Amino acid sequence: MSPHPASDLLQTPVTLGALRLPNRIIMSPLTRLRTDAELAPTKLVAEYYAQRASAGLIISEAVAVAPSGEGYPAIPGLFTARQAEAWRTVVDAVHAEGGRIAAQLSHNGRARYATDDVQRAAGWWAVANPLKPHELTPTDLSAMVEAFAQGARTARAIGFDAVEIHNGNGYLLDQFLRAGANQRTDAHGGSLENRTRLALELVTAVSEAMGADRVGIRLSPSATVNGAPDPSGEETFAYLLERLAPLGLAYVHATRTTEQDRRHGSGPGIPLERIRALYPGKLIGAGDFTREDGELAVAEGTVDAVAYGRLFIANPDLPERFARRTALNVPDHATFYTPGPAGFTDYPRLA
């Protein structure tokens, strides 16, 4: 019989590679757009993450590894010395509170926005004329892989406990995996081997820079392709996960199908139980989990830890609230991306 009832399993320690976590309640990467003019996190960002240091692991918002990888304005970067020092302040603040934090490294290719066409309006970034994207050349892809490796080296130097490769959510890297979205005819398109090549190149390069046991990868197996389910999704992810399994990663972070996904055309998607069967390593599950179904997923062995997003936005002390079975603050969607502390660092904590 388990020494812990299922209702307490989220509060138990877990080891993910080199990471020794005091609980299985992970803070999911959450875009918040609180950067300064140089795309560096502000002091308010350090306060925000430090408030949530009781998470087993904080996974930062997506952080661009190159100027050409921002994808859209106002997400933070990790490609200048100024940005690195600002992130060091964030890391130090989390560590001072006894927490652990991973940097989610991202790159969205050469799709950029003309500076003159961007203006801050009512707390949102209004974009008038996004630049037309271009197919990435082999040279671009090599530069991208090196940018991820350099991002990992920088993250390690400034004290991040781990890094996560953002290869999900239907963005550029996820599109490389999809037969319906990847129309390339070179070594990065067509066959399963080719479509998974970039993801495996990134994992290899980042692992060499950071150490594989401090590297995770975010995948969205149920993401849609052009608003429809990916007919080859299960085959693709079975192939990829089989090749990730022997690499000694800290974890795979996979999203399950949510009601919002279904409204957007995902269909039933690929359940986490199927991902678990395909991947023997440590697995973090995400996707609108409650405390109760998170505990059940851990108890059944479907996942090793559970990532919470909006609940962590509104509840900086989420692990304690789960442990005490107390009421949760309700997230204010209107302030998810607005500047300043409102809806960012001002949610109440338990006395």
Q: Among all residues, which ones are annotated catalytic?
A: 171
Concatenating the DSSP letter of every residue in 118-168 gives: EEEETTEEEES-BPPP-PPPHHHHHHHHHHHHHHHHHHHHTT-SEEEEEE-
Longest CA pairwise span in the chain (Å): 64
| Closest residue by Cα to residue 49 from 16, 106, 98, 85 | 98
Q: How far is CA 115 from CA 9, 37, 68, 138, 169, in A?
A: 48, 12, 13, 26, 26
Which single residue is written with the structure tokens 């059940």?
296
Both tokens of 132, joined, read: 């037309």
Task: List beta partners, residue 92.
Answer: none
Using a 10 angstrom Cβ sphere, with 0-12 exposed, 13-18 middle and 19 or more buried, the burial of residue 233 is buried
Query: 4 in helix, strand or coil?
Result: coil
Which single residue is written with the structure tokens 């990829």?
240
Whole-number Å distance between alpha carbons of 152 and 156: 6
Both tokens of 37, joined, read: 């003019």
